């Protein structure tokens, strides 16, 4: 029986999900897409952050191109894989708790869309990010065009994708595609520390914050202000908000974890 493509474990308040096909660069297959989607769906309710990692020297090299070549009907096969992968991307985007990713080595193709859907991406300094679709004659999927256009802007995103270019980790950090840049040997420890720190915070307020930030680019200021007013009122009424205010007044550290 084939071994799992994705590993999961509870690490305190953190639900850790690890891609585990290092021999293929964690290439995207139907099985990996199904298992990653199931891993997000199976998140234990008591966990307060998801940490996405990958075993091996490469985070995710995108689709398994050999499987494309072997398909009897490549259009149907790739289309179904893209559909399945997009369900995974939506599971990441709309996860009820924040999602932190630690990435290393190569991030290509659909892997770019995956990190673009995460809330905080910590990147090892030697990482290279390449859309790589042009090399096989494909247009992008997995939210890759959305993530790159959002972080780089349309002109630079098009230049990157149409010229089959790549980004260094430093360039990805400078443009905002990744949030933090660390030395390679520090990646896993840093990602774990960040995920644990996020898990101690007001996660429901953080999810509201995520929604505001993602919608800001497509809204007028007036629309954004209306949404901010609604969501801060929800936060103030939430047990997290009540605990935060009490802790401030009482001059103590808030205990968001037990705020119900």
Structure confidence by residue, pLDDT tens digits, 15-30: 999 999 999 999 999 9
Which residues form the domain of 215? Answer: 203-258
What is the model's pLDDT at position 92?
98
Q: Are residues 85 and 99 in the same domain?
A: yes
Q: Are 107 and 180 contained in the same domain?
A: yes
Residues 15 and 117 in one domain: yes
Considering the domain architecture, whether residues 252 and 185 belong to the same structural domain is answered as no
130 and 224 in one domain?
A: no
| Contact partners, residue 95, CB within 8 Å, separation at least 6 | 40, 43, 50
pLDDT at 171: 97
How many domains, the chain?
2
- Residue 141 CA to residue 185 CA, distance in Å, equals 31
**Domain end residue (candidates: 163, 180, 199):** 199
pLDDT for residue 259: 87
Give pLDDT, residue 17.
Answer: 98
Asked if residue 1 is part of any domain, the answer here is: no
Number of H helices, E strands in the chain: 11, 9
On whether both 92 and 217 belong to a single domain, the answer is no
Global model pTM greater than 0.85:
yes
Is the model's pLDDT at 260 over the cut of 90? no
- Say which CATH number the domain at 12 has: 3.90.226.10
Based on the domain organization, do 170 and 229 belong to the same domain? no
Residue 15 forms part of a structural domain = yes
Instruction: Please give the distance of CA 54 from its chain centroid, rounded to a whole number.
Output: 12
Mean pLDDT rounded to a whole number for the chain:
96
- Determine the pLDDT at residue 127: 98
pLDDT in tens, 71-112: 999 999 999 999 999 999 999 999 999 999 999 999 999 999
Is 164 inside any structural domain? yes
In the structure, what pLDDT confidence band is assigned to residue 251 with cuts at 50, 70 and 90? very high
Read off the CATH number of the domain in which 246 is found.
1.10.12.10
pLDDT in tens, 30-56: 999 999 999 999 999 999 999 999 999
């Amino acid at each position: 029986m084939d071994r799992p493509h994705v590993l999961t474990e509870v690490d305190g308040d953190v639900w850790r999900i690890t891609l585990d096909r290092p021999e293929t660069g964690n290439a995207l297959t139907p099985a990996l897409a199904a298992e990653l989607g199931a891993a997000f769906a199976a998140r234990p309710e008591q966990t307060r952050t998801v940490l996405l990692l990958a075993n091996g020297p490469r985070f995710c090299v995108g689709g398994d191109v050999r499987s494309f070549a072997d398909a009897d009907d490549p259009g149907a096969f790739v289309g179904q894989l893209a559909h399945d992968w997009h369900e995974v991307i939506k599971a990441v985007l709309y996860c009820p708790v924040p999602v932190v990713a630690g990435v290393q080595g190569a991030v290509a193709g659909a892997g770019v869309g995956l990190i673009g859907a995460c809330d905080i991406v910590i990147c090892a300094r030697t990482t290279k990010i390449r859309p790589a679709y042009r090399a096989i004659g494909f247009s992008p999927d997995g939210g890759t065009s959305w993530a790159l256009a959002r972080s780089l802007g349309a002109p630079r995103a098009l230049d990157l994708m149409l010229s089959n270019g790549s980004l260094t980790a430093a360039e990805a950090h400078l443009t905002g595609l990744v949030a933090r840049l660390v030395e390679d040997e520090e990646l896993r420890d840093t990602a774990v520390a960040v995920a644990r720190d996020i898990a101690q915070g007001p996660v429901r307020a953080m999810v509201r914050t995520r929604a505001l930030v993602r919608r800001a680019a497509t809204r007028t200021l007036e629309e954004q202000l209306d949404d901010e007013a609604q969501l801060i009122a929800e936060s103030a009424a939430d047990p997290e908000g009540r605990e935060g205010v009490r802790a401030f007044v009482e001059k103590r550290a808030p205990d968001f974890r037990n705020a119900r």
